[in-house]
A and B are shown apart, each in its own frame.
Chain A
Amino acid sequence: MRFSDFSFAFPAILSAIMLTAILGPGGVNSILAIGLYNIPVFARLTRGSANSIWTREFVMAARASGKGRFRITFEHILPNILSIIIVQATILFAIAILAEAALSYLGLGTQPPEPSWGRMLNEAQTLMFLDPMQAIYPGIAIAIAVFGLNLLGDGLRDVLDPRLSRKR
């Protein structure tokens, strides 16, 4: 948790730039950089919501029926926070796409010949006035992907939460 506090002190994108600068640009390195800096977000979210579930009465009831900590964690805590984690994952997925686009735009992400929306935006920049669609298409692609992932998160939450789902 101390480590996560440390990483929260720096903006994620700045840290990712720092890491790719150290490790060198490239697809794998940018995945690593973005991934590593998203871990604390999950750690904090999981810990926070798990702690609040641990204080609930049904956990006490589960302990009273003889379950150990490990079983309770997986059978009672995890299913209750899974929807929160999944929703957060889809949102962070969207943010990660944006981050990768930003890294590639700066030339730190995926290297040619592998394609990347961020680099396409970068390359279209010089042709902005000759052929604006070159920049608009990857832009639209990024927007749709991000928006779609957010919708997916909402949809998943509705399906996973028994209190919100209705028998259809």
Chain B
Amino acid sequence: MSLLNVKDLSVILSTSEGPARAVRNLNFHLNRGETLGIVGESGCGKSMAALALMGLLPEQSETVGEIKFDGQNLLEKSDADMCQIRGNRLAMIFQEPMTSLNPVHTVGHQIMEPLRLHRNMSDNDARSETLRLLDRVGIPNPKELVDNYPHQLSGGQRQRVMIAIALSCQPDILIADEPTTALDVTIQDQILELIQTLVREEGMSLILISHDLGVISENTDNILVMYGGSAVETGQTAQIFDELIHPYTQGLFAAMPKLGRARGGRLVTIPGTVPDLISLPSGCTFTDRCPLATDICRNTPPPAVEVKANHFAACHHIDEARNRKTEELFS
């Protein structure tokens, strides 16, 4: 049985303009030690899905469906029970290392917190464990840095500290929500490599959320492509990179700038913008931007079809999408 099993997860946010369905009928599962990448452009519900897993959605929201973690449905748990799980068995790294640390506490204090909270460590034990963790995440001089305040650290160092905090209680699942978006490219690589190594060595599962296909391809076993709050394509990373099926996935790939392309040529884009989550179309959410869209797409939500073993795509025109070259679809 999988460690995490998400079934028909929907998140409805109540906004002043009406209910917005940020996540719609999401299904996925994650085995121990596996890595899953969630890709999609801004506003497609990636972060909302992650926050729903952690039980950290804003108060004006409703979550329906089932999140089975280690046999227990997290959505049925009280906040007090979730506090026992968060940081202990499920940990999360955020996008902005600059603001994710409390400016008034030292770094050491903030790493020791979860150790004291979840593992009831004494101050001395927590401190030596903190030094070990800082060393583990590649901070060169833990003894000096442990008593520094966050503003004295660089962005990369802060993200390493965030990773140390997430790692402190040896969680079963690590959720990394765009962990490198705010960092510059050279640091990005180091941080991703660090996450990779730690995940492998500690035997954790990883959910990596990103809009960067390069990052996802190098760091995950499975991929979930999200659009308009629902999954449009899922499968093993190698499989998906081998054959892109859903027109949206093809569009995402076509939109990646490539080295060696003639200078002065225009970059490929997917026409249009992400759909308004408040007034989603009744059929496929990608209809308005899809080059293959027909009437059936507008009115009937597409079922997820298993194209190959464990490779699903939700589209009415799978055969057509498979036979057309990506370049033809988006040019």
Contacts and interface: CB of A to CB of B under 8 A. Distances in A.
Interface stretch (A40-48, A59-67, A92-100, A147-155): A59-67
Interface string A81-121: 00000000000000000000000000000000000000000
A61 B88 contact: no
Contact of A162 (B114, B151, B166): B151
Q: Tell me whether chain A's interface is mostly helix, strand or loop, or mixed.
A: helix
Contact of B102 (A64, A66, A76): A76
B39 interface: no
A61 B105 contact: no
Interface residues of B, number: 30
Given A79-B104, A80-B102, A66 B149 contact: no
Interface stretch (B18-26, B91-99, B121-129): B91-99
A76 B101 CA distance: 10
Interface string B61-103: 0000000000000000001100111111001101010011111
Contact of B100 (A57, A66, A162): A57
A58 interface: yes
Nearest to A64: B92
Contacts of B117: 65-67, 71
A15 B85 CA distance: 51
B56 interface: yes
B94 A61 contact: yes
Nearest to B102: A58
B61 to A, nearest CB: 14
Interface of B: 54, 56, 79-80, 83-88, 91-92, 94, 96, 99-105, 113-114, 117-118, 149, 151, 162, 165-166
12 contacts: A57-B99, A58-B99, A58-B103, A64-B91, A64-B94, A65-B91, A66-B85, A67-B87, A67-B113, A67-B117, A71-B117, A162-B151
